């Protein structure tokens, strides 16, 4: 794994400048491992490391300082106080104040978690009609999917995935919609591996994009960022970073 990451970085050294002299302010989700989480005053994870690598190629140092919860990150990008949201889904509200890369920096599957033994057939959203759903407060999985779930299921909003797992395990809901990677990590950490599983098909196959504030002086670097994200070996590097940060998160948070 380290060889692939290092190999991609070394292969790219001839593609552009690598001496980071100026600083670009960055932020990301504060609790979405392995993509992002905060630790010791920094945002860490796959998106944070990608930002460091990509902006170093452009002669910029990504700060990746932890500036607070997810909503604050988005507000700071909107105001121009922060230059870059290091990874997020594209939606209409965010496009009003930021410009997104054409190429995704990664793909984040949104999964349907269910109690083991209570799996059901899921191919389209219509298969969820009438069921009891859970989503987390403040989370969107896309405007159309959000609207469908709010209209066609009995939707409960909870504060944490641990609460959601407890609801599923107690039979108080039929399914939870959340990111596959973070859901599996926290399911295992909280001891629900043998009692909760995912359905085979994701509910959303979501590309994550880097976005720059429309007020940022670095907005003209967007084409260069897109070029880097399209280079051979980039996606393989992201896959290896996912493995790396899953392991790190589990090691840091495993209950004794």
Per-residue pLDDT of the chain (256 residues; tens, 9 = 90+): 555 455 545 445 444 444 546 999 999 999 899 999 999 999 999 999 999 999 999 999 999 999 999 999 999 999 999 999 999 988 889 999 999 999 999 999 999 999 999 999 999 999 999 999 999 987 888 888 999 999 999 999 999 999 999 999 999 999 999 999 999 999 999 999 999 999 999 999 889 999 999 999 999 999 999 999 999 999 999 999 999 999 999 899 875 4
Cα separations (Å) of 243 from 2, 34, 74, 105, 216? 10, 8, 27, 16, 32
Q: Please list, in sequence order, all residues whose beta carbon lies within 8 angstroms of the beta carbon of residue 140, skipping any fewer than 6 positions away.
A: 89, 91, 146
Give the chain's domains with CATH numbers.
Answer: 2-106+208-253 (3.40.190.10), 108-204 (3.40.190.10)
Say if pTM beats, i.e. exceeds, 0.85. Answer: no
Q: CA 119 to CA 132: how far, in whole Å?
A: 13
Q: What pLDDT shows up at residue 13?
A: 42
Helix segments in the chain, DSSP class H: 2-12, 46-57, 70-79, 92-95, 143-152, 161-169, 180-189, 222-229, 234-253
Q: What pLDDT shows up at residue 142?
A: 80
Q: What pLDDT shows up at residue 161?
A: 94
Q: What pLDDT shows up at residue 18?
A: 46
Judged by DSSP in three states, 203 sits in coil
- Among all chains, which residue has been given the structure tokens 């395990």? 169
The number of residues making up the chain comes to 256
Q: What pLDDT shows up at residue 1?
A: 52
């Amino acid at each position: 794994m380290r060889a692939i990451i290092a190999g991609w970085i070394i292969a790219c050294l001839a593609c552009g400048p690598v001496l980071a002299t100026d600083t670009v302010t960055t932020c990301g989700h504060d609790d979405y491992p392995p993509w992002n989480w905060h630790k010791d005053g920094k945002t860490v994870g796959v998106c944070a490391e990608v930002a460091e690598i990509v902006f170093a190629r452009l002669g910029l140092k990504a700060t990746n300082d932890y500036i607070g919860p997810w909503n604050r990150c988005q507000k700071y990008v909107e105001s121009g106080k922060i230059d870059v949201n290091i990874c997020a889904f594209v939606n209409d509200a965010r496009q009003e104040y930021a410009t997104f890369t054409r190429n995704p920096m990664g793909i984040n599957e949104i999964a349907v978690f269910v109690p083991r033994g209570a799996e059901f057939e899921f191919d389209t959203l219509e298969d969820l009609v009438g069921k009891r759903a859970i989503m987390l407060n403040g989370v969107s999985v896309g405007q159309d999917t959000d609207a469908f779930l709010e209209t066609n299921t009995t939707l409960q909003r909870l504060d944490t995935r641990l609460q959601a797992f407890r609801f599923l395990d107690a039979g108080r809901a039929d399914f939870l919609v959340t990111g596959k990677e973070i859901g599996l990590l926290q399911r295992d950490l909280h001891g629900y591996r043998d009692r909760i599983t995912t359905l085979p098909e994701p509910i959303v196959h979501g590309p994550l994009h880097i976005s720059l504030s429309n007020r940022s002086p670095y907005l003209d670097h967007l084409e260069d960022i897109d070029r880097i994200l399209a280079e051979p070996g980039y996606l393989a590097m992201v896959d290896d970073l996912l493995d790396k940060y899953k392991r790190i998160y589990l090691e840091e948070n495993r209950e004794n």
